[in-house]
Amino acid sequence: MISGSLGVSTRRMDKLVQTLGITSLSKSQVSRMAADLDAQVTAFRTRPLGEAGPFTFVAADALTMKVREDGRVVNAAVLVATGVNADGHREVLGVKVATSETRQAWNTFFADLVARGLQGVMLVTSDAHAGLVEAIAANLPGAAWQRCRTHYPELVIMSRLFVFVLVIVMLQMERSA
């Protein structure tokens, strides 16, 4: 449920609809809007993927967001996969809120995508989160994996920084010897 799990308040919805030119919402109107939105989100998240595919290329990533849960604000991982089909059309394949970015969360996420008809995947790009890479291998056998271009430069910078620090340490050790 969107309204309960993500903490959509009457005040927040009121602000949102004011940008659309609607003034003042009652709690019952917000509840009805949230219920309608919940139904649309559920339909999107459970739709069959077979007819739109096969999805040759898939990109997977997670966003960390703050969500309201049982009256308190906590961090949650929003798992997202997008795919490109044979016609070159890109589509969001799935979105799932998880407590954290674990192998189990990714495995459940990809198993759901496959159950909904994800097939024909030749390449998956993502960051190198171990749980994510393992879940890709377990659920999409035969698909190649590649670190995405957004995360690759981070690795290069960190590697160069590590080498730089290592050289400085070695030079200092030589000087003190």
> Which pLDDT tens digit goes with each residue over 148-169?
766 545 444 554 555 555 555 5
Within-domain flag for 167: no
Contacts of 133 (CB under 8 A, 6+ apart): 126, 145
Strand order in the sheet with 144-147: 90-98, 72-85, 55-69, 123-126, 144-147
The string of pLDDT tens digits covering residues 68-91 is 778 888 888 889 999 988 788 888
The dihedral over CA atoms of 72, 38, 131, 153, expressed in degrees to the nearest 10, equals: -90
Residue 31: domain span: 2-46
Say whether pTM exceeds 0.75.
no
pLDDT bracket for residue 7 (50, 70, 90): low
Q: How many domains does the structure of the chain reveal?
A: 2
Q: Are 120 and 54 in contact (CB under 8 A)?
A: yes
* Same domain, yes or no: 24 and 86: no
- Lowest mean pLDDT of 119-123, 137-141, 169-173, name the range: 169-173
Strand partners, 68: 73
- Look at residue 153 and tell me if it is in a domain: no
Cβ–Cβ under 8 Å, residues 75 and 99: no
3-state secondary structure of 127: coil
| 59 and 42 part of one domain | no
Are residues 130 and 59 both part of a single domain? yes
Dist CA 7 CA 26 (whole Å) = 16
